[in-house]
Chains A and B, each alone.
Chain A
Amino acid sequence: MKKIQLIIILSTIFHLSFQIPKPLYKKVVKEIKTVFKTNQFSLHKIKISKEQKNNLKINTTTLFKIQNKNQLLGYAYVDKANSKVDKFDYLILLNTKLVILKTKILIYREDYGNEISSKRWLKQFIGLKTTDKIEYNINIDGISGATISAKSMTHAVAKALKKLQKLQKNNTL
C-alpha cells in the first residue's frame, strides 16, 4: 500500500514539475496532503479555451483539479502577486464548491511585507466563496508594516475567486 502511495506522490510531483516551477511543487503537494488529509491524489491541469483564456486572462498552468482516481476533491490555484518591489507566489486550495480551504504564501522574496505569510493572517480567507466580496480593511484586516503586500494578497484572492466564478458559470470546472 505504501508503495502505491509513494508512486502516486512521485507521479504527482513529476506531473506537476512540468507546470509549476521546481521550488513550488513540493510545497503545493505538501499543502494538498495536509488540507485534504490524503496521500492519494493526482493533479490535472484545467483546460481552458483560447477564447476563455483571453476573456478571463487566466494562465492555464495555474489552475488544477485535485482528484482521487475519478473523485474530485477540490482545486488548487497557484499564481504570483506583487510585494513591494518583487513578486511572491501563493496557493489557494478550494473544495468542490469553490470555498477556500487554505491560502499559503509559497515563496516570498523580500523582507519587506513578509508578515503576510503568517498563518494567523491568512486564516482570514478560509471559508470565503466566489460570491463573497473581499475587500482590504473591510472584511480582511491589514498588518501594520506590511500594508502593500497585505493589500496585494487580498486583491489577488478576490481576483482569483472572480475568475473561478466565471469558469464555473461557463461549466469549465
Chain B
Amino acid sequence: MRYIFIFAGNSVLFIIILNNKIMQKKIILITLLITIQFYCQKENTIGSKLQTNAAEKLINTNLKKGLTIGGYAQIDYNQKESDNGILDVHRFVLLFGYKFSDKVQFVSEIEYENVKEVFVEQAFLNYTINDNMNLKAGLMLVPMGIINEYHEPTTFNGVERPSMDKSIVPTTWREIGVGVSGRFDDISLKYQAFIFNGFSSVNGTKVLGGSNGLRNGRQKGAKSTINTPTISIKIDYYGIAKLRLGISGYFGKTQPKDDVQNLIGADVGINMVGLDARYFNKKITARGQFIYTAISNTFAYNLANSAKLGSRLQGFYIETAYNLLPITKKQKLDAFVRYEKYDTHHKVATNIIKNQTHNRNEITFGLTYHIANGAVFKADYQIKNNAAKNTILKNQFNLGVGIFF
C-alpha cells in the first residue's frame, strides 16, 4: 500500500495507491482526492499545547460577550469486499456559539450530512445558575452512552462510529427539550437531567423496527409532534484515577399523530438504560458500553403499523487501543481493536418472527493517526457477522479523515 501526500500551502492532497491482497485482486485506486483546508489552526505546530484556532480569535475572551465558531468533519472511504467503494463527505458540522454574558450562552451546530442534507444538530440556550447547575433549553443531544455526546471524529477510533451507536442508540440522537446539567467537584460527579420530546411513532412513511430499531423515529426538532414528553438522565463519575464511568437512562413513550393517538398500537413505551466506561493510562486507552432497551406494546404496534419492532434491543462493545509512538511525541498512532455485539430483535412479540440477521457482531481493527490536536487520519477493517444461518456478510475496509476544531 502506498500513500502519497502533497502539501501545498494550507491544503493537503492525499492520494492512495492500494494493493489489496485480502480480496485477491489488484485494485489500484487513485482516489480520495481530498483537499482539506486546515484553515483554523492558530498554531500549526503539531500537538500544540492548547487547542487554539482561528475561531478563538473571534472570541474576545477579555470581554464578557463573544462569538465562537468551530466545527468537525469526517470524510470517509468505505470499501465493501467485492463492491465498488463509496467516497463521502459524511459529516461536516459547523458550530456557532454566542456568549451573551458569563452566565448565558447559545450553542448551535449546523450539520451537512452526505453533502446534500442539512440539519440543525444542536441549538440551545445555556444559563449558568451557579457552579453546580446549568439550565438548558432547546435542541440538545440525548445523553445515552458515549458516542451520542462525544461524536466528533477525533474522539473515537474507527472511520465509522460503532455500529451499535446507529442501531441501538440512534446517534446523533437529539430532540427539543429542557433540563439541567451540572457537577459536584467534591465527589467528581457530573449529572444531566432533561425532559425531551420523544421518538415519533410513525415518521412520515417510516415505522420503527427492523435492523435499526428506533432510528426512524428521530424527530430531530423538525416540526416535531409531542404528546407525552420523555425523561433522560445521565450521571458520570470520574472520582477514580484514569477511569470514567457513566450510567444513563431514557424513559417515555413514542409520539403518535392526533388522528391515531387513541387507536390501539398508536405508540410504544421505551425504557432504555446504558452503562459506559472509559479508561485512559498513558499509552493505553479502553472503553466499553452496554445498552439495554425494553419496549412495551410492540405486539399492538407491529399489528397496527405492519412493523417489525423488537420488544428488547440490546448491544455492547469493548475496545482497546495502544499508542505505537513514544509517549513523549506530540503525535499519536493508536492501534485499536473493537468487538461489538448488538441485536434489535433480542426479544420480539409473538406476532413477528425473530430476524436473526438483526443479531450482529463485528470486529473492527485499525489505526488512528493523530497528526495534530484535532486532525486525524484513520484506517480500519471490519469483519461482520450475524446469527442467521447460511449468511455471509461482506467485510469492509475504511479510510477516513477527521477534523475537530
Contacts and interface: CB of A to CB of B under 8 A. Distances in A.
B50 A82 contact: yes
A149 to B, nearest CB: 9
B70 A118 contact: no
A30 to B, nearest CB: 12
Contact of A145 (B49, B55, B150, B239): B150
Interface string A141-161: 111110010011001000000
A120 interface: yes
A107 B280 contact: no
A120 B50 contact: no
Given A111-B134, A115-B238, A144 B244 contact: yes
Given A85-B97, A138-B282, A145 B56 contact: no
A114 B188 contact: no
A163 interface: no
A84 B51 contact: yes
Interface string B230-257: 0000001011011010000000000000
A62 interface: no
Q: Range of interface residues on chain B?
A: 35 or more
Contacts of B117: none
Contact of B183 (A82, A107, A114, A120): A114
B102 A109 contact: yes
B91 to A, nearest CB: 18
A80 B99 CA distance: 17
A107 B132 CA distance: 11
A113 B64 CA distance: 20
Given A144-B280, A151-B49, A121 B102 contact: no
B395 interface: no
A80 B63 CA distance: 13
B50 A118 contact: no
B244 A145 contact: yes
A86 B52 CA distance: 10
B327 interface: yes
A105 B132 CA distance: 13
Given A118-B188, A118-B239, A111 B50 contact: no
Contacts of A109: 99, 102, 105, 128
B185 interface: yes
Contacts of A148: 50-51, 373
Given A80-B61, A141-B241, A107 B102 contact: yes
Contacts of B186: 119
A117 interface: yes
B157 interface: no
Interface residues of A, number: 32
A151 B332 CA distance: 15
B280 A82 contact: no
A132 interface: no
Given A85-B97, A151-B50, A117 B238 contact: no
Contacts of A86: 59, 61, 68, 99
B314 interface: no
Contact of B181 (A87, A107, A111, A141): A111
Interface string A90-112: 00000000000000010111110
Contacts of A108: 131
Contact of B185 (A117, A152, A155): A117
B90 interface: no
A5 interface: no
Q: Which of A119, A144, A155: most chain B CB closer than 10 A? A: A144
Nearest to A146: B238
B56 A120 contact: no
Contacts of B95: 85
25 contacts: A82-B51, A82-B52, A84-B51, A85-B55, A85-B59, A85-B68, A85-B70, A86-B99, A105-B185, A107-B131, A109-B128, A110-B126, A111-B126, A111-B134, A114-B190, A115-B188, A115-B238, A117-B183, A118-B185, A120-B239, A120-B241, A145-B238, A151-B49, A151-B51, A152-B51
Given A138-B328, A143-B244, 16 more contacts: A82-B50, A84-B51, A86-B59, A107-B131, A109-B99, A110-B105, A110-B126, A111-B134, A114-B183, A115-B236, A121-B188, A141-B241, A144-B278, A148-B51, A151-B49, A152-B50
Interface of B: 49-52, 55-56, 59, 61, 68, 70, 95, 97, 99, 102, 105, 126, 128, 131, 134, 150, 181, 183, 185-186, 188, 190, 236, 238-239, 241-242, 244, 278-282, 285, 287, 327-328, 373
Name the 9 nearest CB pairs between A and B, nearest first.
A144-B278, A118-B188, A144-B244, A85-B68, A87-B61, A117-B185, A155-B49, A148-B51, A120-B188
